Amino acid sequence: MSDESICLVRGSINIDEFYDLPTIVRPGQTISAFNFSKRLGGKGANQARAAARAGARVLLDAAVGQGVEGESVKKELCGPVKGVEDIGVPFDAGDEPEGGILGERIRVWDDGSTGKAIIQRAEDGENSIIILAGANASLPSKPYTPLIPQNTTHLLLANEIPLDETLAYLRAAASQQNVTTIYNPSPMPTSSELAAFPWNCVGWLIVNEGELGDIAKAVFSSSKEVKLDGEGEVNGAVRYLTNGKDKEDGKKTIEAASIVAKALHTALPRLSSFDDDDSETSTAAVVNIICTLGASGVLHVRRSSFTASQGKDEVNAKCLPAAKLLRPIRDTTGAGDCFMGYLAAGLMRLQRKDGAGCAEGEEEKFEGVLKRCLTACSICVENEGAQDSYPTMAQVETRLA
Ligand code: ADP
Ligand code: NA
């Protein structure tokens, strides 16, 4: 593992356009906005930005639309990795992150617009959003298979691109050794898509509690092969997470999410639609799960190389509380993406320091990575915007000091 290591992000780029209005426009009505602002967003661009601010070298594999607009988006994304000064943590210009976003995989799609979100924000707090997938729905000309560059160690994926693309990248990464895949299934695929998903190609599944419940519901109800330990308890926990009730009860949510994450961690690798080699080796796949729980922090279920090296296969769910907010919550947009980018950069750093497979003190080191993710997220939610509120690693360290 060298410093040439790359985090590949295959994902979306959006321009978010905000119109501040007295009320949301009704059919047939024309009203004037009293303010307009524009920000770069999209899950792919957000995750790439977060990973770069966290110090990773990122290759963003995405598409922008035709014309000046697309070009300027590309330029903005691939400029120097500047930190943001006014997010409540001092920023020292000497502490520019070492990473950056490489733009050679950002295609220009000549047939239409860059992806857009048009957001109406009314004075009473209501909003309404129009999404235009635009270039995000486009594919490179055929025939083509995803190319994962040699020095890619981590691949980040989410779903604002065609599902077939996500699947193709997951499979390509799985057939290439030493690429860790990190997948955030948002927006959620349908239950039949989830049931047929190549789960054994996913190294890290990052979900919130609702997504965790949705996946479990789809997967457990479709598969006859899976024998669940404590089936009644698992089903009860899935119902709790998917009914959306009582979410205020943090303790209950953590309990339910732990039960479901453990069951999925055990079941997912066996429920695989991807058989690269039809031998038993595919059953050795591990799907590590991290469930973000908003104000309650995160829980993780993973197989550590420590337990694995000892031949133990115990499954534990561990919780880490959210980092303390030092200011009121302002805007949680893109907090999940901030987490993803920081996680990728953190896992890369661990690998770089330790080489693969070093088990000593592994749990503490991994929790150190999570702590930085959570601290970055709390700075993110304290500030307006998504990318504009992502701290650099130096800012995270300052906050932790
Ligand atoms: P998503 O946006 O994908 O639903 P979450 O809401 O769980 O993801 O947010 C991701 C992370 O952002 C959380 O793990 C937490 O660290 C932070 N976060 C989000 N909402 C809050 C909150 N209300 N208070 C403190 N931290 C929060
Ligand atoms: Na924010």
Ligand 1 neighbourhood includes 292 CB (under 6 angstroms):
yes
Distance CA 208, CA 9 (A): 20
Nearest to 79 by CA among 50, 54, 55, 100: 100
Distance CA 108, CA 67 (A): 9
Residue range 211-260, pLDDT digits in tens: 999 999 999 987 666 667 788 899 999 999 998 766 678 899 999 999 99
Crossing angle between the packed helical segments 362-382 and 393-400, to the nearest 10 degrees: 100
Over the chain (401 residues), the average pLDDT of each successive run of 10 is 83 97 95 96 97 96 96 93 86 80 94 95 91 94 81 96 95 91 96 93 96 94 73 92 78 94 91 54 74 94 70 81 94 95 96 67 92 97 95 95 93
Nearest to 87 by CA among 325, 323, 383: 383
pLDDT at 79: 86
Got the DSSP string for 298-320?
A: EEEE---HHHHHTT-----EEEE
Q: Which two tokens stand for residue 309?
A: 């090296």
Cα 253 to ligand 2 centroid, rounded to whole Å = 24
Ligand 1 neighbourhood includes 381 CB (under 6 angstroms):
yes
Residue range 331-368, pLDDT digits in tens: 999 999 999 999 999 999 998 876 655 567 888 999 99
H/E element, 321:
none
Ligand 1 neighbourhood includes 179 CB (under 6 angstroms):
no
All residues at 6 or more sequence positions from 217 whose CB lies less than 8 Å from its CB, including other chains:
191, 238, 242
Which atom of ligand 1 is closest in space to residue 373's alpha carbon? 16
| Count of Cβ atoms closer than 10 Å to residue 123 Cβ | 10
| Count of Cβ atoms closer than 10 Å to residue 222 Cβ | 14
Distance CA 161, CA 140 (A): 12
Cα 87 to ligand 2 centroid, rounded to whole Å = 9
Which atom of ligand 1 is closest in space to residue 207's alpha carbon? 3
Q: Point out the ligand nearest to the CA of residue 47.
A: 1
For each of the domains in the chain, give its residue range(s) and CATH number, in order of start: 6-14+42-114+140-400 (3.40.1190.20)
Report the nearest-CA residue for atom 3 of ligand 1.
336
